[in-house]
Chain A
Amino acid sequence: MTSTSQADASVAVDSVVTLHDVQVHYPVKEGLLQRVSGHVRAVDGVDLTIPRGQTLGLVGESGCGKTTLGRVVAGLVAPTGGELWFGLTADQHEHVNRIRAIAPGERSAEDQALWRQLEREHRLGSMTKERHREYRRNCQVVFQDSFASLNPRQLVRDIVGRPLRVHREASGSEVDARVVELLERVGLGAQHLLRYPHQFSGGQRQRISIARALALNPEFVILDEPTSALDVSVQAQILNLLVELQQDLGLTYLFITHDLGVVQHMADDIAVMYLGQIAEYGPTDQVFFDPLHPYSRILRDSNPSLEDEEVGERWELSGTVPNPINPPRGCRLHPRCPVATDLCGWSVTDALEHVETAAPAVFEHIDAVNRSTDFLAEVAMSDDASAALMAREINSSPAGVALTQPAISNGKVVSLTLRQVDDAELLPIRELRSSACLRTQQQGVLPSS
């Protein structure tokens, strides 16, 4: 699947990392022979530009792929598809976009040479060893669980000093001096040098993690839920520290979290993820006060807040998370969306899933389902009566709105034709804002319920 989306809207900016159509698909193996029976689409076609010097918030619920995406950016997980560029200037970014749009066979010799050079210097996986080392130095991670991310058998001195040794930044007693400097930077001190991680509180351990991440003077730090294991009073200390460090050192952050209050406080821009894709992207305040994707609004409405102002009607998510092996067609949110219409990509699967839960007795009488496409199918039932019931169930299901004509039973067969909808892509809606909601893309504003 190649995306033609340019929704990162690549208004050329200097970026630390640029993702283009990045995918991480894990094979699902089954049976004795470990045959691959499908793929879990943990990350499924993400375009994202992380602009230099800012904080980009990546929000979503568990299982949406935000952590996997963070690990891809950190170079810990190799993407199964797509491109990951590191340190592109605005000009280079434009070149990359221009050349990519030309089919490989039709590129001029000049373009080919430029592409190869860009790849060698900036594309993860094709980089020279030296450039990769530079990327490693410049891109660091602070993990969620500070207990799990510090080796329990190493002293703080070895944990924080390790990056310095690995990259031969310092040696001997120099290392200790640098480590003390780093510890003081994050609010600890020389007295903590010779301690084991278990001798610290959660907040202090997270400070050690931050000190380690800063050891190589990186320009980019991925913060993977850095405060979600901490109590609020300690969380406030760590968030303040992160902001202070960013201002002093000119850091770029990718802030991954499920906590909307925190991301609202910390991020300049946010990307909202749902089921492996980015649902909405835009400046944080705008996304909060004027969401352009129903999912962003649901997240906001669900987030408990101490503010007094009334948000008006609260939107809720219905049902449960769909199977990431076979995600919904059209817009991935539509089976759970409060404002879904026929536009949103209802498929045969949606209709049958509804019948399965709402009328299991009817569902049991299905003999065969012949799908021509995801939107066009004939359902063979075991008898005429259940076929009539089936047609009625389908017509009254949420997917019923997308039927081009009501499903009718013809003998034992029910044929259903649903409106064919292309898979949703993240598209620019207005300046700085993009959304993957098909209805928003049509109307320019969030549809009302």
Chain B
Amino acid sequence: MSTIETEATAPESAGSVRWARRREVIAEVLRNPLTVVGFVIIAAFLLMALFAPLLTEPNQPDPYQSPRDWANIDSPPGEAGHVLGTDSQGGDVLYGVIWGSRLSLQLSLTVVLTTVVIGTIVGSIAAMRGGRLDNLLMRIVDVFLAIPELIFALAIAAVLGPSFRNIILALAAVFWVKYARIIRGEIIRIKQSEYVAAARVVGDSTWNIFRKDVFPNSVTPMVVQATLDMGNVVLIGATLSFIGLAQAGLTEWGAMVSAGQSGLLAGEWWVSTFAGLAIVLWALAFNLVGDGLRDVLDPKTEGR
């Protein structure tokens, strides 16, 4: 009897209520104009990466090497059919910027996703188990954190040898510790909360408590950090390729800035500038979004 009543008085479904909640949050996030700007820039980059083969003819056999127009080396923007000019090897800068967005996306997504997963697992185990294991894992994290990210990544990449894949590996090796630390702190805080105590009183299993109570309430700061890191990873990755840790001629923005550097003194500003601009915009966009998310999802950590 009451089932029918339930049906009658609750026309909404749980799913629609949850969606309504999410929509509220999204609306709140989008209220900040800077966040919207960030989203627009990110969307532009994503479209660029997605439609790269349509925007420019992929180079054969490797699309991540700029096609060489040996007839027009160092040509300035707008001349000889090169909208953003060419570099000293005749590589088209526009092509590089467009295909570089694919590499940046690949770099940041791979690094952030893998490190979030690793960091979450390590941090969660440390926080949930506690005791000696926690102590051991956190000391390892401390060692990692004691060395500046860039220098550590640089050392790893240098040992592994110059290639784009090694840059990804190096960055992944460095970034996971941050997430481990963040999630551990949050889990320890949430574990003290009364709703976790309430779940224990009900008799639910530790895994269920982790899954339903602890984890969903602990992820927010990590989501914010991951968003910020989508930008940071590209920034550090570009630094590594700038100093020559990527293959030569790669359409990686950092590598392009490096390649254009020699021409700067000769007044050939366009190569480094456009590639550099792409890096800056990318990092800026994710920082804007990350900050916006933090303000909405996690107001108390503002300005941390």
A–B contact via C-beta, under 8 angstroms = yes
Q: Which positions 193-213 of chain B face chain A at CB distance < 8 Å?
A: 193-195, 197-204, 208, 212-213
Set B3, B193, B202, B203: member contacting A148, Cβ < 8 A:
B193
Give Cα distance in the complex from A137 to B195, angstroms.
17
Whether B5 contacts A162 by the Cβ 8 Å rule is: no
Q: Which positions 184-225 of chain A face chain B at CB distance < 8 Å?
A: 189-191, 193-196, 209, 212, 216
A143 contacts the other chain (CB 8 A): yes
A39 contacts the other chain (CB 8 A): no
Whether A196 contacts B203 by the Cβ 8 Å rule is: no
Whether B212 contacts A166 by the Cβ 8 Å rule is: no
Whether A141 contacts B198 by the Cβ 8 Å rule is: yes
Tell me the minimal C-beta distance from B239 to chain A in angstroms: 38
- Stretch in contact with the other chain, from A42-50, A172-180, A371-379, A424-432: A172-180
B9 contacts the other chain (CB 8 A): yes
Determine the residue in chain A with the shortest Cβ distance to B217: A153
A residues within 8 A CB of B14?
155, 157, 194
Whether B195 contacts A148 by the Cβ 8 Å rule is: yes
Residue with the highest number of chain A CB atoms closer than 10 Å, among B3, B12, B203: B203
Tell me the minimal C-beta distance from B4 to chain A in angstroms: 9
A residues within 8 A CB of B17?
155, 194-196
Give Cα distance in the complex from A144 to B9, angstroms.
31
A residues within 8 A CB of B18?
155
Whether B199 contacts A190 by the Cβ 8 Å rule is: no
A136 contacts the other chain (CB 8 A): yes
Tell me the minimal C-beta distance from A326 to chain B in angstroms: 27
A145 contacts the other chain (CB 8 A): yes
A residues within 8 A CB of B216?
151, 153
Whether B195 contacts A149 by the Cβ 8 Å rule is: yes
Whether A212 contacts B10 by the Cβ 8 Å rule is: no
Set B198, B200, B203: member contacting A137, Cβ < 8 A:
B203
Determine the residue in chain B with the shortest Cβ distance to A144: B194
Give Cα distance in the complex from A173 to B5, angstroms.
12
A residues within 8 A CB of B197?
71, 76, 141, 143, 149
Give Cα distance in the complex from A143 to B202, angstroms.
13
Set B193, B201, B213: member contacting A140, Cβ < 8 A:
B201
Determine the residue in chain B with the shortest Cβ distance to A189: B9
Give Cα distance in the complex from A83 to B10, angstroms.
48
A residues within 8 A CB of B193?
148
A116 contacts the other chain (CB 8 A): no
Whether B201 contacts A76 by the Cβ 8 Å rule is: yes
A residues within 8 A CB of B201?
74-76, 136, 139-141
A residues within 8 A CB of B202?
136, 140, 162-163, 166, 212, 216
Determine the residue in chain A with the shortest Cβ distance to B208: A166
Whether B203 contacts A149 by the Cβ 8 Å rule is: no
Given A166-B204, A196-B21, answer yes or no on A149-B9 (Cβ-Cβ < 8 Å): no
Give Cα distance in the complex from A372 to B14, angstroms.
70
Q: Which positions 34-77 of chain A face chain B at CB distance < 8 Å?
A: 71, 74-76
A residues within 8 A CB of B6?
173, 176-177, 180, 190, 193
A residues within 8 A CB of B208?
166
Given A151-B213, A212-B198, answer yes or no on A191-B9 (Cβ-Cβ < 8 Å): yes
Determine the residue in chain A with the shortest Cβ distance to B3: A177
Whether B203 contacts A152 by the Cβ 8 Å rule is: no
Give Cα distance in the complex from A143 to B216, angstroms.
21
A107 contacts the other chain (CB 8 A): no
Give Cα distance in the complex from A167 to B205, angstroms.
11
Residue with the highest number of chain A CB atoms closer than 10 Å, among B3, B12, B17, B194: B194
A150 contacts the other chain (CB 8 A): yes
Tell me the minimal C-beta distance from A195 to chain B in angstroms: 7
Set A71, A190, A209, A216: member contacting B9, Cβ < 8 A:
A190
B residues within 8 A CB of A143?
194, 197-198
A111 contacts the other chain (CB 8 A): no
B301 contacts the other chain (CB 8 A): no
Kindly supply a per-residue 1/0 record for chain B positions 43-82, scoring 1 wherever the CB is within 8 Å of any chain A CB and 0 otherwise. Answer: 0000000000000000000000000000000000000000
B residues within 8 A CB of A193?
6, 10
Whether A145 contacts B194 by the Cβ 8 Å rule is: yes
Tell me the minimal C-beta distance from A196 to chain B in angstroms: 7
Q: Which positions 9-39 of chain B face chain A at CB distance < 8 Å?
A: 9-10, 12-14, 17-18, 21
Give Cα distance in the complex from A148 to B190, angstroms.
10
Given A76-B200, A155-B17, A195-B17, answer yes or no on A148-B194 (Cβ-Cβ < 8 Å): yes
Q: Which positions 162-209 of chain B face chain A at CB distance < 8 Å?
A: 193-195, 197-204, 208
Set B3, B9, B217: member contacting A151, Cβ < 8 A:
B217
B residues within 8 A CB of A29?
none
B residues within 8 A CB of A10?
none
Whether A166 contacts B203 by the Cβ 8 Å rule is: yes
A154 contacts the other chain (CB 8 A): yes
Determine the residue in chain B with the shortest Cβ distance to A163: B202
Determine the residue in chain A with the shortest Cβ distance to B1: A177
Set A136, A150, A190: member contacting B203, Cβ < 8 A:
A136
A sample of 15 inter-chain contacts (CB < 8 A) reads A75-B201, A148-B193, A148-B194, A149-B194, A149-B198, A150-B198, A162-B199, A162-B204, A162-B212, A163-B203, A176-B6, A189-B9, A190-B10, A194-B17, A196-B17
Nearest 8 CB-CB pairs, A to B? A149-B194, A136-B203, A148-B194, A190-B9, A151-B195, A163-B202, A194-B17, A177-B3
A residues contacting B by CB (< 8 A) are 71, 74-76, 133, 136-137, 139-141, 143-145, 148-155, 157-158, 162-163, 166-167, 173, 176-177, 180-181, 189-191, 193-196, 209, 212, 216
